[in-house]
Chains A and B, each alone.
Chain A
């Protein structure tokens, strides 16, 4: 089979795939010129042609990857027997950027501190909520994503298709391979918790460790809307406590007076959340661990806490002795 991986042909315009013109910073603009379209070989055998170029397209492409909010990380181009490779459609035209392996990309991307990006190795991570709700949110919220690629590819499929059926693969595609999200979610859970049977679970563990952002939900008693915090953005309980305080301060003020300005003046700081960790304040911070039990924050070393905490909660200290510490044992299939 022949596919055309146009080499250096045309200039992919990344920004076209971001309809709302979101600026991805200097990366995309600067690297645009350096984006190389090439066909890569699996397993990093002969990368001579592409080695030096990899660094650049990776960043932008991964930005694109993020835009696409993909759950499955990579596509295969239809080269002869090649099953590895990461193609990103950056433009309506049928160009693709082939990047070789995901771990390299991960490192690259992490350097950019795109904290909200959740990467996955080999598509295991179940960002995908059941019923594709995450998909929907992403689509509505960001206005771009795989469908950007889709629409582009649809529109230009006339251009793309030749008799030899050699369309460069688009960004990782929604719903392909056609495995039910139910199965993918549960498989992810099983893999993460199963003993190591074969190499694939090692990859899952590696994934868990490599992630540089860990967003968990945090709810507060009396406030109907929760927030999310990135546990990896902090390195100690104190910093977390401060962050939680800041997160909810505005919300609490809004509860009292919905018209209150978001920036509090000093005199209105009575809602500051202090004493979250030592039980001395009005509120206490608890978390739910990977077994589903509700635990007091602060007992274990910080790193262990980060690896175990699945969600956080700010409870009224007076409620502590009540049902809130009862083990619930409820597992969630998707990481918050």
Chain B
């Protein structure tokens, strides 16, 4: 939910990570800097003598005000001394692909880093397309940072594999550690959490977002909540809604009671409504609340005695004047939902995307939410529910509508009607993720015209190759209108029946697009070619099950050094084409992933390629072949 925190989601910011977008020529070498970011090695003038050091000192003082990493990247390219000065003053290190640079190289260049953001697996790993054990291990980074950054305060990881030992290393190596945010990570368990809780005395943020903790036997589950210091803590954010094991509630309650700085608390679904009430009483200053199950304890549910908690809950919410964000609602009993009315008017974020609520249940809630900016919901609210949203939430910036049944044949609860309604009512919409079963070009075109602020447009028509359900035409025109009219669009995900024409549109108009996701679309190589040749800002391209082959792959040779990665699976690629690319672009790591050992050698099931200064990685599992 808080994906945009710490710039993890690069959709809205300037993007452009450590890697430089400009030419990544083979002539890398040289330069005092010439490493993770810049090209390096072009300057020919020797640095001026004597004043060099003075200049750098001045520069450092000035450059420390530069925060945005794109600005910093640009500054580092000016000349060698700027590069050095910038490296000395960079406080946050952002590595968009953990294999793009070796940990050692990064830590050698940037010496005074306090905050590290690291991303690992490609996004399609979320959909089980990347086999287990592929990589993105945090260990080498942990070791390198432990040695180089004793002052490190913050680590934010996305899609990395982290072991409990790594967490231990963190806890013991960084005495000033404050902030651990793990998004979609896996490999660790409660033991690692316990070490963090216990040893990081200055911890402010422990935020686990959609992490996959290791399955543990009952007797191995550690009561990590009890391990926090018994004195007043400095905790500001504690998010563990993805942790599947129960936590010791008494310990949690006590922890909340002695954490006066706590602002964000997201509990897991084992916390029932009566327990939630107790926590809220302890922490009336909360701004972000993840409500856990929001259902009654099991025993109570059986007796049907739910009224008892309702009154308590209402009073708790009434007393929580600061809440601006609500999430959780895992097992929501709809009779509890009205309890949140007191805070609705202040809500800027509401995530009820695990709650199967109907339009009628939603309406009274959403009616109060005038200030809502971010809304995640299940499609069970139907078009009608979305119409209610459109009627009230005029400031809505981000909408995500998830499917209750994520299958292709499920009954569609939302459709083009809902999308059109949203576009009518929420003119300031910037980001949308919409799962549906039927869509029309007309609705998409309407949205493209109404919502000019759109930065992220992700439409998932769940049935593959589905056309406009009224006209039976491909969805080319709809997506074409989006790229044409939404000038700020940087992220696009397409679906439905799409011909090469759609890609022609994207190539022609999608000049700002940085991330593109394609599935089951296109007719021929030409489609991919349009995109590779037409979208200069393209950074991340992920494609599945589309008829693009080697010629298309080769048409992007000029572009791949400018991109963070390309992922293609179940397309028409062959080993020859991939080898070709690998040979022509030596700084590109070309990984062919083969999960079935007996698959023939010619076809390439999964291709993942990315630019890298580190060369082929040495931790690749057997099913990965690096060309």
Give the one of B215, B298, B334, B596 with max A CB within 10 A. Answer: B596
Q: Please name all residues of chain B whose beta carbon is closer than 8 Å to the beta carbon of A129 when the two chains form the complex.
A: 215
Contacts A76-B463, A174-B129, A186-B330 given; does A143 touch B408 at CB 8 Å = no
**Contact: B246 with A131, CB < 8 Å?**
no
Tell me, yes or no, whether B354 is within 8 Å of chain A by CB: yes
Q: Please name all residues of chain B whose beta carbon is closer than 8 Å to the beta carbon of A122 when the two chains form the complex.
A: 405, 407, 409-410
Quote the shortest CB–CB distance from A113 to chain B (angstroms). Answer: 25
Instruction: Decide if the interface of chain B is mainly helix, strand, loop or mixed.
Output: loop
Quote the shortest CB–CB distance from B381 to chain A (angstroms). Answer: 11
A177 — nearest CB in chain B belongs to which residue?
B462
Tell me, yes or no, whether B404 is within 8 Å of chain A by CB: yes
Contact of A143 among B242, B270, B411, B596 (CB under 8 A): B596
Contacts A1-B467, A197-B356 given; does A177 touch B460 at CB 8 Å = yes
Q: Please name all residues of chain A whose beta carbon is closer than 8 Å to the beta carbon of B354 when the two chains form the complex.
A: 183, 186-187, 190
Quote the shortest CB–CB distance from B48 to chain A (angstroms). Answer: 54
Contact of B212 among A131, A154, A190 (CB under 8 A): A131
Q: Please name all residues of chain A whose beta carbon is closer than 8 Å to the beta carbon of B517 when the two chains form the complex.
A: 178
**Contact: A78 with B221, CB < 8 Å?**
no
Give the one of A133, A178, A190 with max B CB within 10 A. Answer: A178
Tell me, yes or no, whether B218 is within 8 Å of chain A by CB: yes
Quote the shortest CB–CB distance from A312 to chain B (angstroms). Answer: 13
Quote the shortest CB–CB distance from B384 to chain A (angstroms). Answer: 13
**Contact: B406 with A186, CB < 8 Å?**
no
Q: Which of A165-173, A268-276, A295-303 contacts B (4 or more CB under 8 A)?
A: A165-173
Complex formed: what's the CA distance from A288 to B570 in Å? 42
Q: Can you sample 8 A-B contacts with CB below 8 Å? A: A130-B212, A131-B186, A140-B595, A147-B595, A155-B603, A172-B408, A176-B519, A191-B404
Tell me, yes or no, whether B342 is within 8 Å of chain A by CB: no
Contact of A128 among B128, B402, B473 (CB under 8 A): B128
Q: Please name all residues of chain B whose beta carbon is closer than 8 Å to the beta carbon of A124 when the two chains form the complex.
A: 405
Quote the shortest CB–CB distance from A336 to chain B (angstroms). Answer: 10
**Contact: B409 with A157, CB < 8 Å?**
no
Contact of B599 among A83, A147, A169 (CB under 8 A): A147
Tell me, yes or no, whether A181 is within 8 Å of chain B by CB: yes
Please provide the chain B residues from 468 to 483 with a CB less than 8 Å away from any CB of chain A in the complex.
Answer: 469, 472-474
Complex formed: what's the CA distance from A180 to B184 in Å? 10
Complex formed: what's the CA distance from A78 to B472 in Å? 10
Please provide the chain A residues from 13 to 34 with a CB less than 8 Å away from any CB of chain B in the complex.
Answer: 19-20
Please provide the chain A residues from 286 to 336 with a CB less than 8 Å away from any CB of chain B in the complex.
Answer: 288, 291-292, 323, 328-333
Q: 1/0 contact trace for A180-224 toward B, CB 8 Å?
A: 111110110111011101101100000000000000000000000
Contacts A75-B464, A78-B465, A150-B570 given; does A197 touch B523 at CB 8 Å = no
**Contact: B523 with A78, CB < 8 Å?**
no
Contacts A131-B212, A157-B547, A177-B435 given; does A197 touch B402 at CB 8 Å = no
Count of chain B residues near A, Cβ 8 A: 90
Complex formed: what's the CA distance from A20 to B405 in Å? 33
Quote the shortest CB–CB distance from B115 to chain A (angstroms). Answer: 26
Quote the shortest CB–CB distance from B302 to chain A (angstroms). Answer: 11
**Contact: A83 with B131, CB < 8 Å?**
no
Contact of B358 among A75, A80, A197 (CB under 8 A): A197
Contacts A154-B603, A163-B523 given; does A177 touch B408 at CB 8 Å = yes
Q: 1/0 contact trace for B559-602 toward A, CB 8 Å?
A: 00000000001111000000000000000000000011111100
Quote the shortest CB–CB distance from A30 to chain B (angstroms). Answer: 27
**Contact: B409 with A85, CB < 8 Å?**
yes
Contacts A186-B354, A187-B354, A194-B331 given; does A72 touch B605 at CB 8 Å = no
Chain B residues engaging chain A, CB cutoff 8 angstroms: 124-133, 184, 186, 210, 212, 215, 218-219, 221, 242, 244-246, 269-270, 295, 298, 301, 330-334, 353-358, 361, 378, 380, 402-412, 435, 437-438, 460, 462-467, 469, 472-474, 497-499, 517, 519-520, 523-524, 544-545, 547, 549, 569-572, 595-600, 603, 605
**Contact: B409 with A180, CB < 8 Å?**
no
Tell me, yes or no, whether A256 is within 8 Å of chain B by CB: no
Quote the shortest CB–CB distance from B108 to chain A (angstroms). Answer: 32
Contacts A78-B464, A155-B603, A197-B334 given; does A179 touch B380 at CB 8 Å = no
Tell me, yes or no, whether A73 is within 8 Å of chain B by CB: yes
Q: Please name all residues of chain B whose beta carbon is closer than 8 Å to the beta carbon of A172 when the two chains form the complex.
A: 407-408
Tell me, yes or no, whether A91 is within 8 Å of chain B by CB: no
B161 — nearest CB in chain A belongs to which residue?
A131
**Contact: B460 with A178, CB < 8 Å?**
yes
**Contact: B460 with A190, CB < 8 Å?**
no
Q: Please name all residues of chain A whose beta carbon is closer than 8 Å to the beta carbon of B462 when the two chains form the complex.
A: 76, 176-177
B437 — nearest CB in chain A belongs to which residue?
A83
Quote the shortest CB–CB distance from B444 to chain A (angstroms). Answer: 16
Complex formed: what's the CA distance from A173 to B435 in Å? 17
Tell me, yes or no, whether A225 is within 8 Å of chain B by CB: no
Contacts A78-B466, A81-B438, A180-B126 given; does A194 touch B408 at CB 8 Å = no
**Contact: B465 with A331, CB < 8 Å?**
no
**Contact: B406 with A81, CB < 8 Å?**
no
Please provide the chain A residues from 64 to 78 with a CB less than 8 Å away from any CB of chain B in the complex.
Answer: 72-78
**Contact: A1 with B497, CB < 8 Å?**
yes
Tell me, yes or no, whether A5 is within 8 Å of chain B by CB: no
Count of chain A residues near B, Cβ 8 A: 83
Complex formed: what's the CA distance from A204 to B597 in Å? 36
**Contact: A86 with B244, CB < 8 Å?**
no
**Contact: B406 with A184, CB < 8 Å?**
yes
Complex formed: what's the CA distance from A133 to B131 in Å? 8
Please provide the chain A residues from 27 to 77 with a CB less than 8 Å away from any CB of chain B in the complex.
Answer: 72-77
Contacts A72-B406, A154-B572 given; does A169 touch B212 at CB 8 Å = no
Complex formed: what's the CA distance from A292 to B570 in Å? 41
**Contact: B438 with A182, CB < 8 Å?**
no
Q: Please name all residues of chain B whose beta carbon is closer than 8 Å to the beta carbon of A86 when the two chains form the complex.
A: 409
**Contact: B572 with A157, CB < 8 Å?**
yes
Q: Please name all residues of chain B whose beta carbon is closer than 8 Å to the beta carbon of A78 when the two chains form the complex.
A: 463-467, 497
**Contact: B465 with A3, CB < 8 Å?**
yes
Contact of B404 among A147, A181, A187, A291 (CB under 8 A): A187
A84 — nearest CB in chain B belongs to which residue?
B409
A167 — nearest CB in chain B belongs to which residue?
B465
Q: Please name all residues of chain B whose beta carbon is closer than 8 Å to the beta carbon of A288 when the two chains form the complex.
A: 218
**Contact: A330 with B245, CB < 8 Å?**
yes
Complex formed: what's the CA distance from A300 to B462 in Å? 43
Quote the shortest CB–CB distance from A294 to chain B (angstroms). Answer: 8
Complex formed: what's the CA distance from A16 to B210 in Å? 39
**Contact: B570 with A176, CB < 8 Å?**
no
Q: Please name all residues of chain A whose beta carbon is closer than 8 Å to the beta carbon of B361 when the two chains form the complex.
A: 197
Q: Please name all residues of chain B whose beta carbon is closer than 8 Å to the beta carbon of A291 when the two chains form the complex.
A: 298
Contact of A179 among B242, B403, B572 (CB under 8 A): B403
Contacts A1-B467, A182-B210 given; does A151 touch B599 at CB 8 Å = yes
Complex formed: what's the CA distance from A314 to B153 in Å? 46
Complex formed: what's the CA distance from A328 to B216 in Å? 13
Q: A78-B497, A180-B127 are in contact. List 11 more A-B contacts (CB 8 A).
A: A1-B465, A83-B437, A83-B463, A83-B466, A143-B598, A174-B129, A175-B127, A175-B128, A189-B269, A198-B380, A200-B380
Quote the shortest CB–CB distance from B152 to chain A (angstroms). Answer: 27
**Contact: B547 with A139, CB < 8 Å?**
no
**Contact: B244 with A123, CB < 8 Å?**
no
Quote the shortest CB–CB distance from A132 to chain B (angstroms). Answer: 3
Complex formed: what's the CA distance from A144 to B598 in Å? 9
Tell me, yes or no, whether A136 is within 8 Å of chain B by CB: yes
Tell me, yes or no, whether A153 is within 8 Å of chain B by CB: yes
**Contact: A139 with B595, CB < 8 Å?**
yes
**Contact: A182 with B356, CB < 8 Å?**
no
Contact of A200 among B404, B412, B474 (CB under 8 A): B404
Tell me, yes or no, whether A135 is within 8 Å of chain B by CB: yes
